[in-house]
Structure 1
Amino acid sequence: MSPFQDRSKARKNKQKSANFKAKKGHLSKSPSQPGKTSRGLVRIIAGTHRGRRLPVLVSEGLRPTSDRVKETLFNWLMTHTTGAKCLDMFAGSGALGIEALSRGAAHVTFIEQEKTVAEQLNNNLVTLREADKAEVVMGNAYSHEFDSAAAYNIVFIDPPFGKEMVEKSINILLSSKILSPNALIYIETAHSDEYAVPSCFSLVKQIKTSQVFAALFELNT
């Protein structure tokens, strides 16, 4: 058993923002070196928007995935991203979901509870002309009412460090029945964060950097 499977043991204006949902109602619908991201910016590594830099707000707890880890993750997902339906549960800058859109994902749902961060994410999607393939939900991933017909192929779980949110997130995915057969779940945590992954998931890939643990799991069906 991988330590990631039991870490307690060994841890989303031309389109008028038509897809931006608030928690209560609608608000209407030369590159850097790998591993480096300019302050207040995230860089799209590959795909349709390769090399584009997008502004992100400096906000407490907002920690975009580094270019190094992001590149590794999407190498893992290389044969799975095109046409995929994705969920970014703790979107923040939206770096992971936007990278997925750039690489051909069919749709990404972004969930972000900070209003200003969600608005910036929505603006970036409009700038990229990707708003028709995305939905930004301003709210909490734990209280969001998911559509059981969603059938997400890829889910990104990259919550604030040190909050013990991974296991609860996985339980919500399973209880809401929103995963497609053989769905892929990406988890990124700090070294000190603990979590256990249910036995219905198998470890696919994992990486440890100086700052994070990252792992990709597949739902067994």
Structure 2
Amino acid sequence: MRIVSGSCRGRKLKSVPGKSTRPTTDKMKETIFNWIGPYFPGGSCLDLFAGSGGVGLEALSRGMDFAIFVDKSKQAIQTIKSNVSICGMEDRCEIYNNDSDRALKAIIKRGIQFDFIFLDPPYQKQKLQSLLQLIEDHSVMKDSGYVICEHDTGVPLPDKVGNLKQIKNVSYGMSHLTLYLYSELEENEI
């Protein structure tokens, strides 16, 4: 596992020990950042269910200013901290050992909004629709921000959740990527 592009291109990242975490492949990261970037003039991102932190670190390497990493596994948190250090990005990150619902509620209380949110929950515990609804209900996205969901191909996601509109999706074997764009404008205003 490595950083694919940007200021930390080629840096090797550590994986979370054991088999409980499924890293996002380089091919999937390339797809994600081809969809939403590939580079950024700043901004903020949230890597929920962060695992090793590879997607959030990729976003930082490609120009995002700030990232929040959340995972409920202590091993994952230690791996994220190590990978953030490998990339020299400690001053651009916040890392929390928490479950997704509690972390989102804390983020909502702080009034933080993101340009990019990556959701990759464990495949056997998918709750993406409720997370998308929580993000929508509490204005966690900046206008024209993106939410990317990595999920099992058997998990259908809605075309629209409020102002979040599904605009792309692709399958890679058992994994699927779904891209949502957040826009406060009505379709007839665009």
TM range (shorter): 0.7 to 0.9
Unaligned runs of 5+ in 2: 185-190
Deviates more, 1:192-201 or 1:102-111: 192-201
Tell me if structure 2 keeps the 8 A contact 1:164–1:195: no
Aligned to 1:61, which of 20, 29, 46? 20
Q: Under a length normalisation based on structure 2, what TM-score does the superposition of the two structures give?
A: 0.88
Q: How many residues are treated as equivalent by the alignment?
A: 180
Q: Is the 8 A contact 2:116 2:147 kept in 1?
A: yes
Q: How far apart are residue 72 of structure 1 and its match?
A: 1.0
Q: Distance in 1 between matches of 2:38 and 2:176?
A: 23
Residue 98 of structure 1: aligned partner:
57
Q: Structure 2: how far apart are the matches of 1:61 and 1:194?
A: 23
Is 1:217 aligned with 2:180?
A: yes
The offset of 1:174, in angstroms, is 2.2
Is 1:200 aligned with 2:163? Answer: yes
Q: Which structure exhibits the higher relative contact order, with contacts defined as CA atoms closer than 8 Å and separated by 6 or more residues? A: 1
Aligned alpha-carbon RMSD (Å):
1.6
Instruction: Return the TM-score normalized by structure 1.
Output: 0.76
Question: Residue 153 of structure 2 corresponds to which residue in structure 1?
Answer: 191
Query: 1:217 is aligned with what amino acid?
Result: Y
Contact (CA 8 Å) 2:136, 2:161: kept in 1 or not? no
Q: Could you tell me how far apart the structure 1 residues matched to 2:88 and 2:176 are?
A: 32
More helix by share: 2
Question: Matches of 2:90 and 2:138 in 1, distance apart?
Answer: 25
Which secondary structure state, in structure 1, belongs to the residue aligned with residue 118 of structure 2? strand
The answer as to 2:156 corresponding to 1:156 is no
Task: Report the alpha carbon displacement of residue 79 of structure 1 after superposing the two structures with TM.
Answer: 5.5
1:131 to partner: Cα distance: 0.8
Gap regions ≥5 residues in structure 1:
1-41
- TM-fit CA distance, 1:143: 1.2
**Cα distance per residue 1:133-184 (max 9 Å; x no partner):** 0111111110121144211110001111131310121122123322111221
**Does 2:163 match 1:177?**
no
CA shift for structure 1 position 80? 6.2
Q: Distance in 2 between matches of 1:68 and 1:134?
A: 24
Asked if the contact 1:164/1:194 (under 8 Å) is kept, the reply is no
Q: Which amino acid aligns with 2:151?
A: T
